Structure 1
């Protein structure tokens, strides 16, 4: 748009507002002027400005309402309606509703089949961002390529709003180092735009990229500015701060409760599981408790992956055997295979899965996954996770009756503790977590009291199911479930379902 475009002018006015002043006054003045001039097209387009301000403040539904009002107001001009639909798709992506955003983008091709070069580029960027949110493995590369084109076109606003979605996607697929140049680009675009909002995001993203290397996350003051509370930056900071609290033995670098409470009140629907997952992981580490409702999600996206991984680690640290079995199976069936870690919770998926398997009673699989976690962390430059994985693997080999040379686990323990000391890791906390998981549900020996399948059967029986309905839920014959139940009673030293449930609860199995 030309420099004289009223929409661009009001965006600039809002961007330059000092702290304490709100965006509503310049926006309403511009809308009033458009109506006085009977310029409905400009009045409609101005709703995109209000949408951006609402989404920045976490007011997702209000942002959608503004754009939808603009669509009702807009005259039947394809370019104007296409611009509004692009704005709607942008809001939907930022609200972590990628499927809806993709449908909106498909609608644009019907409204304006021959968009301008800039319109076509903006649609491509929004599509690639939506695909990143859906954790499609090829999406980060496609988005990076599109953003290079955006830079060449001099579209600083589009670049600055899209780069913060690219960086978590790069990290999720194991490309930590690839994120750093994009943080530098975001910081440069923030200066071009004179945007305090994007400066803050660049700062937080830079801290997040250093966290896997052991840099302790610093306290950040959240500036109040015309665009409001930056929930995206706060969400990342909450996750990184929580992770640091866990790996450093509970020494949280900043209090989380106020930040988490605020996040819960403002963030869009796609982010709302984040605070609960982060708090659960810290609580599991400090108090050895997890929420009873700590269930795997129906799906995982770029913006729920961090909180999901944090909740899984909470279950691995302090959940029941039944919860661990549920989560371990969920990871096998539902977690995107190529996603190795996350930005806001930089634990390795392999390591968390290993602890879940150990807590489920499958020590061999846990050891295999911990070995893989050590290799991955060494190969991808994650010294924090490499140290934790070595410490936990050493404790597993030392405390289970596996045929392992003493020299191997002693060397792993020594290397893990030295590596942990270099990056500020609490080795005793990491060791305690895996020993506790290995001992869960065991009585006189290290062998599990219940197998993972028996734990599943007991969980269903505790819900009041019969052998037949439990068998249907597990895809088994009812007589097979009956055999599992008899084995459960024998292992727990009981003679009835009620006694088994009570004994299992006392032992932390369900």
Structure 2
């Protein structure tokens, strides 16, 4: 990632904190690893995340280092640049989430934060298993919010990228054979539709008038029934089966 293309994530007028940490959600702070080849950017983003209530358990500047740090720290979320000195961030995603994953025990999510908004880069990251993709031209508070939403199991994309991803999934689905679908309860189907629309578990709970924990349980049950590994795969299934078209 070109240093000239990115904002200074840690800069704030008046020197105040980046984000009020009291807004952090969940019973425990999300554990995050930040991967980027520029030390100043890593430090600035890590500082913003710390101030927002996250726990940055490690940082890395290369593919090899990223895999070592993730294996050692077992984070819930990896914030990842695509351009690294020894390879692509897509390699990291595949190593963490792909069929031949080398990071045993990693069950978290990956949010790509990159200077590139090119279609090929976005789709490569999503196909590899990234939960979201945000360009570095976003404001620092938007980057922190994207991390927070990804940690809450939402699919997060910069403006204009969500339609690109959903369109590609729909096109791919037309050429794919549709497997038999296990029976889902009416409430599980409701949750699946909201996941397809990109809602987080907390937002889905508000929409359905139930608790956050209830929605999490429904998502867990649906993942088990469909034999899917994570919410990214669940969203892809929902789009392929047309649940995103439901009102």
Normalising by structure 2, report the TM-score.
Answer: 0.31
Higher relative contact order (CA 8 A, sep 6+): 2
Bigger Rg over Cα:
1
Normalising by structure 1, report the TM-score.
Answer: 0.18
